[in-house]
Amino acid sequence: PPLTENRHEDGAAAQKPERVSVLFPMPLPKAYDYACDGDVPPLGSFVTAPFGPREVAGVVWPSKGEAPPLEKLKTLAGVFDAPPLSPDLIAFIDWAAAYTMFPKGALLRMVMRVSDALEGPRMQTAFIRTDASEGLRMTAQRKAVLAAAGASPRSASDLAAQVNVSEAVVRGLADAGALARVDIDPDPPFAQPDLDRQGPELSDDQQFAAETLAAIVEEGGHKAVLIDGVTGSGKTEVYFEAVAAALKKDPEAQALILLPEIALTLPFLTRVEERFGAAPAPWHSDLTGAQRRRSWRRVADGSARLVVGARSALFLPFQKLRLIVVDEEHDNAYKQEEGVIYHARDMAVARGSLGGFPVALASATPSLETVVNVDEGRYEAVGLSSRFADAAMPDIHLIDMREDAPEAGRWLSPGLVREIDKNLSAHEQSLLFLNRRGYAPLTLCRRCGHKMTAPGSDSMLVEHRFENRLICHHTGFSMPKPTACPACNAVDALTPCGPGIERVAEEAKERWPQARISVLSSDTAPGPRSMRDVLDAMKAGEIDILIATQVAAKGHHFPNLTLVGVVDADLGLAGGDLRAAERTYQLLSQVTGRAGRAEKPGRAFLQTYQPEAPVLAALASGDRDAFLAAEAIGRRDLGFPPYGRLAAVTLRSLDEQALDRTANALKVAAPYADGVEVLGPARAPIYRLRGVARMRLLVKARRNVSLQAYLADWLAAVKVPGPVRVTVDINPYSF
C-alpha cells in the first residue's frame, strides 16, 4: 500500500509528538497544523490528515505563526510513498500565491491535479509468449493472439484489440501456459534523451547564440535571456543546445520547454525526438488520464528529464528543474484567465529566479514587457538576424479596401484575387487568414433589427454553417439556426452579417472551383490530431488554398506556401485594450511569416480600411523597432505596463443590483495612496454571460507601488455580499 500509517513501528516508547503544517489543494490561504507522533515527514511530503469530516491529501508545508498547543491538534493520518515536492517548488507556490493574490491551496491544487498519481505504482498484468504451446487445443483466435504476442509484455486489452478477439482468449492462453503473466508498471519511464547526439550544423549566428546560452547554463544561477530572431531563423535549434547543455551539466537536471498551444505540441514532440532520439514527457490538457499520470509520476521521480508542455506544466512536481524555455514568449495564450489567473511567461521567470536557474524566452516578435526588460538590463538578449539558409522575408503590401473594394457580399478585393490567380497558375500554395471561426459573426433580423444572442448573455451568436447552428463562442451555448426571427416572427429575415472563415471559403470555392480548398480552425479540426491531418496535407502540397484562423499562424513550415492574404487586418485593432496594436503586430507578422520559407520568396497582402494606422505601416515596412518604440511611448505616457502597474478587480453576480452596489461601495472605499489611481467601475465589454453580470474596476499604480499590498488593504475593508464574487487579475490582458 502506498500509504503508511504515521505511527511507530514497534510500540517502543512514544516519541514526543511534533507540529506539522499541511497545505491542502483547496482554495484556502494557509496551511493547517497537526500533531505528528511518528517520524516527522520532510517538507514537501504528501500526507493525509483529517480535515472536516474527511481525511484529505495535502503537502507538508513550512510552519508559520504561533504554534497552537499540541494537545489541541488533530493527528496526521498517513504519509504517501511519493517523492516530496522540491523546496524551490514550495517557494514558488508561496510566491505565486502572494503575487496573483489567489490562495496558496489553489496553487497547490494545480500541482496535484493528477488525482490518482499518489496511489503509487499499481502493477498491471501483462503477457509474454512462452514456448509451451505444444499439445494446446488451437483455434484461429488463439493462433492470432500467439502470433501477436512476443517477448515484450503487452496487456490483455492491447493484444485482444490488435487481433480483434475478446480478452478471455488471451487469459485462456495464459491459463494453458502458452502465455506467461508478468507484472509491469503502467507508467513506464520515458526514454532518456541522447545528449551527445549531434544537432544540425549551426550557422554562425546560431552558433554564437547557442554558445552564449550554454555559457549562461554552465555558469549556473538565474538569468532571463531573450532569443530574438525572425520566424525561421533557427531559434528552436539554438535552445535545443541550451537544453542539452543543462541536462549534461547535471545528470539529475530536468528541463521544461513551454509552448503556447496544444496544437503545436504534437509536431514538436516529433521534432524533439528527432533531435534527442527520445520523445519528451508531454503535458497538456488533451492527454488521457493515463498519459497524465505517467508524465506526472515520472517528472516527480526525476526520471523524465525533458518535458514539453502547455503553461500548466510550470506546476509539475519537478525534482530538479534547471532550465525553462518559453517559446513564442509574446503569445497571449500564456495568460491563463480561468481559475488562478497568471501569465506563464512571467511565472516561468519567477520560477527560475527562485530556483536559481536560467530561463530562455524565444520570439520573433517579443512582447514590449520583455523588450523593456532587455533595454533596462534585467534580461539578456541574443539575436538571430536572418532566416536560416537565407530564405527571404516576405514582401508585405497593404490593400486599401476603400479603393480596391470587393463586390457587395464578397470579402476578397480584386487585388488579392489577382494574386491568388497568379499563385494557382504557378502551382504554389496560398493561405487566407481570418481570425474568425464560423460563417458569420452576427445574425441580424432584417425586419426588426433583432440581434441573435445567447440566453442571458450579451454575446453574439456565431453562425456555423457546416453544422447549421448558432454558437456562442464565450459560453459554448448552441442552437439550430431558427427559420423565423424570435423577436418579430418574420420568416427568412435572419441575415448573416460579416465574414467568418466558412464564408470566405464559400467565396473562394465559387471563384476557384478547380482549386483544392480547405478550412482550418479549432471547429473544423477538433483536437490536435485532425488539425494535424490538415496541416500535413498542406505540407504535402495537397491543398491549394488554406483558409484558416490563428491555429495555422504559429510554428508551421509550409515549403510551397508563397502567398498570405489577410482578409481583415483591422480585426484585432477594434476594442482598444492596451495591447491591441501589439497583438495585431505579433499575429500578423507571424501569419505573414508563413510565406516563403524555403527557396521560394513569399509575399503577403493585408486588406485594411486604415492603411495609415501605425501598426499596419510598421508591418508593411518591416520596422519592428519603430513599432515598439511608438508603443513604448504610448504606454509610458499613460503609465501603463510595463511602465506602471495595473490590476483588474472583477465583480460577478446574477444579482445586478447587488453587483452595482458592491462595485460602487468598493470604489468609495478605495484608500488614497500616492501614485495609485482607481478607475471605474465600468461594465465588462460583454456585460452578461449566462445571466452573470460583470463589472470591472481598474487599479493603476506607479511601478514603485506594491499593488498587492494596496489591493489587500482595500479588499479587506469592504464586506462583499454573498451573491457577488470578486477576483483580482494582476496585469490583465483582456479588458
Per the annotation, binding residues for Zn(2+) are: 445, 448, 472, 485, 488
> Which listed range, 234-242, 458-466, 598-606, 686-694, lies at the site for ligand ADP (CB under 6 A)?
234-242
Q: What letter represents residue 330's amino acid? A: H
Please enumerate in sequence order all residues whose Cβ is within 8 A of that of 271, keeping only pairs 6 or more positions apart, or say none.
236
Q: Segment 507-566, which members bind ligand ADP (CB under 6 A)?
A: 557
592 binds ligand ADP (CB under 6 A): no
CB 27 within 8 A of CB 105: yes
Question: From the list 182, 202, 392, 669, which residue makes contact with ligand ADP (rule: CB under 6 A)?
Answer: 202
329 counts as binding ligand ADP under rule CB under 6 A: no
Stretch that binds ligand ADP, among 80-88, 147-155, 198-206, 482-490 (CB under 6 A): 198-206
Q: Is position 201 an interface residue for ligand ADP (rule: CB under 6 A)?
A: yes
Stretch that binds ligand ADP, among 141-149, 199-207, 573-581, 719-727 (CB under 6 A): 199-207
For residue 37, the minimal CB distance to ligand ADP (Å) is 56
Q: Which is nearer to ligand ADP, 389 or 679 (CB)?
A: 389
* C-beta neighbour count of 302 within 10 angstroms: 16
CB of 548 to ligand ADP, least distance (A): 18
Please identify, using beta-carbon distances, which residue of 70 and 195 lies nearer to ligand ADP: 195
Minimum distance from residue 39 beta carbon to ligand ADP (Å): 49
Identify the residue among 29, 42, 150, 200 touching ligand ADP (CB under 6 A).
200
Contact (Cβ atoms closer than 8 angstroms) between residue 443 and residue 486: no
Smaller CB distance to ligand ADP: residue 583 or 594?
A: 594
Is residue 701 within 8 A of residue 641, CB to CB? The reply is no
- Is 236 a binding residue for ligand ADP by CB under 6 A? The answer is yes
* Binding of residue 383 to ligand ADP (CB under 6 A): no
Q: Check: CB of residue 632 under 8 Å from CB of residue 624.
A: no
Buried b (16+ CB within 10 A) or exposed e, 525-544: beebeebeebbeebbeeebb
- Site residues (CB under 6 A) for ligand ADP, limited to 656-715: none
Which one of the spans 54-62, 195-203, 352-360, 475-483 is the region binding ligand ADP (CB under 6 A)?
195-203
Q: Are 172 and 146 in contact (CB under 8 A)?
A: no
Cβ-contact 354, 92 below 8 angstroms: yes
Contact 306, 321 (CB under 8 A): no
Q: What's the one-letter identity of residue 348? A: A
Question: Distance between CA atoms of 589 and 583, rounded to whole angstroms?
Answer: 10
Among 330, 543, 518, CA closest to 427: 543
Part in contact with ligand ADP (CB under 6 A); list of ranges 235-243, 316-324, 405-413, 615-623: 235-243
Q: In the set 193, 229, 280, 681, which binds ligand ADP (CB under 6 A)?
A: 229
What does 61-73 look like in DSSP terms, one character per residue?
E---SPPPPGGGS
| CA R_g for the chain | 29
* Selected binder of ligand ADP within 21, 48, 233, 312 (CB under 6 A): 233
Q: How far, CA to CA in Å, does 544 sit from each of 103, 272, 430, 568, 683?
A: 51, 29, 6, 21, 45
Query: C-alpha cell of 400?
Result: 486599401
Q: How far is the CB of 191 from ligand ADP (least distance, A)?
A: 22
Determine, following the binding rule CB under 6 A, whether residue 388 of this chain makes contact with ligand ADP. Answer: yes
Q: Of 25, 38, 105, 232, which lies in the binding site for ligand ADP, with binding defined by CB under 6 A? A: 232
Stretch binding ligand ADP (CB under 6 A), from 164-172, 197-205, 285-293, 613-621: 197-205
Neighbours of 506 (CB within 10 A): 17
Chain centroid, CA 42 distance in Å = 33
Nearest to 329, CA basis, from 470, 423, 227: 227
Question: Minimum Å distance from CB 203 to ligand ADP?
Answer: 6
Largest distance between two CA atoms of the chain = 92
Shortest distance (Å) from residue 733 CB to ligand ADP: 24
Question: Residue 271 CB, nearest distance to ligand ADP (Å)?
Answer: 8
Site for ligand ADP in 77-106 (CB under 6 A): none
Choosing from 86, 100, 203, 459, the residue that interacts with ligand ADP (CB under 6 A) is: 203
Asked if 630 is part of the footprint of ligand ADP (rule: CB under 6 A), the reply reads: no
From 312, 320, 317, select the one nearest 259 (Cα to Cα): 312
Q: Which three cell numbers stand for residue 16?
A: 514526543
Binding site, by residue number, is 445, 448, 472, 485, 488
Q: What is the helix (H) or strand (E) element at residue 35, kind and residue range?
A: strand 32-36
Stretch that binds ligand ADP, among 150-158, 229-237, 253-261, 394-402 (CB under 6 A): 229-237
Q: What is the SS3 string spanning 429-462?
A: EEEEECCCCCCECEEEECCCCCECECCCCCCECE
Q: Which is nearer to ligand ADP, 206 or 584 (CB)?
A: 206
Contacts of 232 (CB under 8 A, 6+ apart): 387, 388, 391, 557, 593, 597
Of 232 and 499, nearer to ligand ADP (C-beta) is: 232
C-beta of 240 vs 433, nearer to ligand ADP? 240
Which residues here bind ligand ADP, judged by CB under 6 A? 200-203, 206, 229, 231-237, 388, 557
